[in-house]
A and B are shown apart, each in its own frame.
Chain A
């Protein structure tokens, strides 16, 4: 194929030798540089901003105020700590429900049967649906006067609920939406884990007379423990960072009583709705530390399980 002149061959081959020798960094370098530029600088900036009283404009003079923001945030029992509480409640609640439901559905789908394809399609649809559009869809369904949710309750003689507009019901309702959208993700991950299992341990337990619950609890579950932790990790991180559905359905400040204001919504609002960049950076640093701590704890567990 190559009928190049000898000279060119020599030139390109010396480059080629160099390139092949350093291919590791030629391949990986650009990606790492891209991510590093878009990450390292912003993190540094966020840390810096968290020590100032920045209120927006780039040219406006910044006052360096040390750890004052941290003191303000950590003693703020009106917005910050409730937001932490809601974040933990939302993430924990959604995660547990998604794991339990996801495991149940995965076990239903595990063994092959007629119509398996249809169920798979059904669970794939929520997963790829655009979260903001999903938020709007549930907003109509949960509309107190015209929504289908209350209409359905009416069939059973149950009084109408305020759902998204209620101060105490909004967050659980949105938790339900999160569960609707993301349980399928857990199902898919767990199914992948289940399908990688061999049949023998289950058969052996069956021969020993274990009932199906015992076989699940003592045989299957321990075998897919790593997969379960992976699911917790993937879904947990995303649930902690939930923004789209919360902000799209309840708007600025997470509703008039901040009823769905999680840390992410709070930090976003401080930055882009109220221009309190210094304070928002502080919240973000604390939030980020919280996430890293959770991830670290889970991966440490995972490593321990590997060995």
Chain B
């Protein structure tokens, strides 16, 4: 049967068979297209390059418009970020909260998505997906009341819980569309061979789901890493995450642009490197369920 459809979500455009159309497109269109694509690349990458350049300048050079592109690069700003501002600690916090909330959400979310997909529990799925629609602030107020009573605000637990709340609906959504595309015949065959339904899930379905789980896991980690609002309210001095730490950078005193840009680079680079290496998973996660409507 069609067990190969398992990966059909992944970068489907690579398989396009339309090469023959090339001859039909005019030369003028091809030139326009190259120019347009260069423009697109520059638009999306240039600001990031600008951020990196500024992070390598002294504050004097940042204020000097003759040194826009030519300047003596310095790592001074990175010294500020890691020395004075303790970004190593914030990186650890962001990483630990992202890792723990992703792992726990996968543990809860993957079986849930499986059940919802196989038993078409659409009404139950809506409950979980509702979490995606509600504005975060409306949950934060009551959470803040309760968690401060429990003396949990400022601890890792409350941040992991709140980030799980973002991750879980995401994981359920991605995994549901993954399981929908996984042929049920494989599990049925395993059951004919003597496995229980749960056994078939654990030994057959789960190993086959590695691409889906990778997709869901990476995306959930990215969302946790980037999360600002929940961490802004619920983190303390010991559990501060990177987006909150960079916000502190401007909240007090005058802006140290070089340091600020170095901090921005420190936050974005790890997540971009992960995304580049895991490109196809990130893309398939972001577009999960987009085509089947």
Which of B42-50, B72-80, B82-90 has 4 or more CB atoms under 8 Å from chain A?
A: B42-50
A49 to B138, CA, bound (A): 11
A108 to B108, CA, bound (A): 40
Whether B45 lies near A122 (C-beta < 8 A) is yes
Q: Which single residue of chain B is at the shortest CB-CB distance from A249?
A: B250
A167 contacts the other chain (CB 8 A)? no
Q: Which single residue of chain B is at the shortest CB-CB distance from A292?
A: B133
Determine which of A35, A36, A42, A108 lies in contact with B36 in the assembled complex, contact meaning CB atoms within 8 Å.
A108
Whether B16 lies near A46 (C-beta < 8 A) is no
Whether B291 lies near A227 (C-beta < 8 A) is yes
Tell me the interface secondary structure of chain A in the complex.
helix
- What residues of B have a CB within 8 angstroms of the CB of A189 in the complex? 286-287, 290
| A131 → chain B closest CB, angstroms | 6
- What residues of B have a CB within 8 angstroms of the CB of A151 in the complex? 65, 68
| B3 → chain A closest CB, angstroms | 20
Whether B128 lies near A137 (C-beta < 8 A) is no
B271 contacts the other chain (CB 8 A)? yes
Known: A31-B168, A125-B272, A188-B283. A226 touches B293 (CB 8 A): yes
Whether A192 lies near B293 (C-beta < 8 A) is no
Known: A112-B18, A123-B44, A199-B18. A281 touches B141 (CB 8 A): yes
- What residues of B have a CB within 8 angstroms of the CB of A248 in the complex? 228, 243, 247
A140 to B169, CA, bound (A): 35
Q: Which single residue of chain B is at the shortest CB-CB distance from A118?
A: B41
Q: Which single residue of chain A is at the shortest CB-CB distance from B63?
A: A146
A204 contacts the other chain (CB 8 A)? no
A133 contacts the other chain (CB 8 A)? yes
Determine which of A35, A115, A130, A267 lies in contact with B131 in the assembled complex, contact meaning CB atoms within 8 Å.
A35
- What residues of A have a CB within 8 angstroms of the CB of B33 in the complex? 108, 113
Tell me the interface secondary structure of chain B in the complex.
helix
| A96 → chain B closest CB, angstroms | 18
Interface size on A, residues (CB 8 A): 103
- What residues of A have a CB within 8 angstroms of the CB of B282 in the complex? 124, 128
Whether B197 lies near A20 (C-beta < 8 A) is yes
Residue among A27, A123, A229 with the highest chain B CB neighbour number at 10 A = A27
Whether A128 lies near B272 (C-beta < 8 A) is yes
A209 to B201, CA, bound (A): 53
A35 to B250, CA, bound (A): 35
B181 contacts the other chain (CB 8 A)? no
Chain A 272-291 against B: per-residue CB contact (8 Å), 1 yes, 0 no?
10000100110011011001
Which of A66-74, A75-83, A236-244, A253-261 has 4 or more CB atoms under 8 Å from chain B?
A: A236-244
Q: Name 11 interchain pairs, CB-CB below 8 A, sorted by A.
A: A20-B197, A24-B121, A27-B111, A31-B168, A46-B138, A105-B40, A118-B41, A119-B41, A139-B250, A140-B51, A226-B291
- 4 further interface pairs, Cβ-Cβ under 8 Å (given A130-B225, A130-B271, A244-B243): A46-B142, A58-B148, A124-B279, A199-B18
**Which 7 pairs, one residue from A and one from B, show the smallest C-beta to C-beta distance?**
A31-B112, A226-B293, A27-B115, A27-B111, A133-B264, A42-B142, A45-B142
